[in-house]
């Protein structure tokens, strides 16, 4: 079995050093102990998740994009992967790795438009079993009266993002909460990019693409000649299609840089295409670039833990 963490799944949390960067935020007033205890469990308990890339191969085999992988057996050990990390890190990876893009009306909404809370459909199903198995691992260690929601959005209401929910819907009353912040592996927005909407939009777009397809791991993956390379090309193709599926900008093509595994250039083209739409969206939602920058969360996954008593859930 190939037990190396897939370079594409490693998208997100670049090294084990990230473990020390997971932070727990208490919601004022100080939350009761159980929510905090569950949050601490997520931050400190490590787990191993074994999963398969078979769903992605099945999706690619049914599509017209990329090379033919119909001859790859879905039970092939070549498709087996293993991920290690804290439960919080694994939740963050599952959230970003199954993120989607919906640019259909970005930049055309007014500030009064409600933020998008609904989950954006994932770009591909490559990480479907990873997401499910991470949720199972978390559920096994947190109990029945716990709800955990991991969310990644570059900013509130962004047309890009992912979410993973574990546990039943909480009751209306008697619910306590704690929050964890997990880095995505991209740098926070620098102060120099917050003076105007254009600079901010470009910085957010660049980091958004870096989370969806990090250039370094992607380059390594594309140099291979296995299903992982085909699945990554499929992911790039789906992202390109999502961007070109709107009328608000010229189409982008990343075929040339990908032909030479130049993922840096490919990502730059994607970010340049997304930037005007992100800029317009931020301008519509916020009065000033500073206010918009304060709301940007592209560099982190937010995990909210909600707990309640069994009697509260039975009401």
Separation CA 223–CA 236 (nearest Å) = 15
Q: How confident is the model at residue 104 (pLDDT cuts 50, 70, 90)?
A: low
pLDDT at 182 over 70: yes
- Range with the poorest average pLDDT among 71-75, 146-150, 168-172, 200-204: 71-75
- pLDDT (tens digit, 9 = 90+) per residue, 188-211? 999 999 999 999 999 999 999 999
What pLDDT, on the 0 to 100 scale, is given for residue 58?
Answer: 83
Residue 32 has pLDDT above 70, yes or no: no
Q: What is the pLDDT of residue 185?
A: 93
Output the pLDDT for position 303: 98
Mean pLDDT of the chain: 83
The pLDDT of residue 64: 67
Whether the Cβ atoms of residue 8 and residue 235 lie closer than 8 Å to each other: yes
What digits encode the pLDDT tens for the residues 204-237? 999 999 999 999 999 999 998 788 888 899 899 9
Label the pairing between strands 176-183 and 300-307.
Answer: antiparallel
Domain ranges of the chain: 9-313
Collect contacts of 251-260 with beta carbons under 8 A, ≥24 apart. 258/222, 258/233
All residues at 6 or more sequence positions from 209 whose CB lies less than 8 Å from its CB, including other chains: 239, 267, 270, 271, 274
DSSP for 265-285 reads HHHHHHHHHHHHHHHHHHHHH
* 249 confidence band (pLDDT: 50, 70, 90): low
Residue 89, SS3? helix
User: DSSP secondary structure string, 134-180?
Assistant: HHHHHHHTT-SSEEEEEEE-SSTT-SEEEEEEESPPPPSSS-EEEEE
Q: What mean pLDDT is predicted for residues 38-45? A: 96
pLDDT of residue 121: 82
Model confidence at 6, pLDDT cuts 50, 70, 90, reads very low
Contact criterion met (CB below 8 Å) for 189 and 298: yes
pLDDT confidence bin for 171, thresholds 50/70/90:
very high
């Amino acid at each position: 079995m190939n037990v190396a963490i897939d370079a594409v799944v490693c998208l997100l949390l670049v090294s084990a050093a990230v473990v020390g960067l997971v932070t727990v935020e208490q919601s004022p007033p100080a939350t009761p102990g159980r929510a905090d205890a569950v949050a601490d469990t997520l931050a400190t308990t490590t787990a191993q998740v074994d999963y398969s890339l078979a769903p992605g191969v099945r999706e690619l085999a049914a599509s017209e994009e990329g090379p033919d992988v119909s001859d790859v057996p879905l039970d092939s050990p070549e498709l087996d992967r293993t991920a290690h990390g804290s439960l919080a890190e694994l939740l963050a990876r599952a959230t970003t790795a199954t993120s989607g893009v919906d640019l259909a009306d970005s930049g055309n909404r007014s500030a009064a438009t409600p933020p998008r809370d609904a989950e954006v459909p994932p770009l591909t199903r490559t990480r479907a079993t990873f997401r499910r198995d991470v949720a199972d691992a978390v559920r096994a260690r947190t109990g029945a009266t716990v709800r955990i929601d991991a969310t990644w959005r570059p900013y509130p209401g962004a047309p890009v993002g992912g979410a993973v929910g574990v546990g039943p819907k909480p009751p209306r009353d008697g619910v306590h909460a704690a929050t964890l912040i997990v880095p995505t592996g991209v740098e926070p927005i620098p102060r120099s990019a917050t003076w105007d909407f254009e600079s901010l939009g470009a910085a957010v777009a660049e980091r958004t693409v870096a989370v969806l397809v990090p250039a370094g791991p992607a380059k390594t993956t594309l140099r291979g000649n296995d299903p992982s390379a085909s699945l990554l090309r499929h992911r790039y193709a789906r992202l390109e299609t999502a961007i070109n599926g709107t009328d608000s900008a010229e189409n982008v093509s990343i075929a040339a840089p990908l032909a030479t595994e130049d993922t840096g250039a490919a990502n730059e083209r994607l970010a340049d295409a997304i930037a005007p739409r992100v800029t317009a969206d931020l301008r519509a939602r916020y009065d000033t670039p500073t206010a918009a920058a304060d709301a940007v969360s592209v560099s982190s996954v937010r995990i909210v833990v909600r707990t309640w008593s069994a009697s509260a859930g039975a009401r």
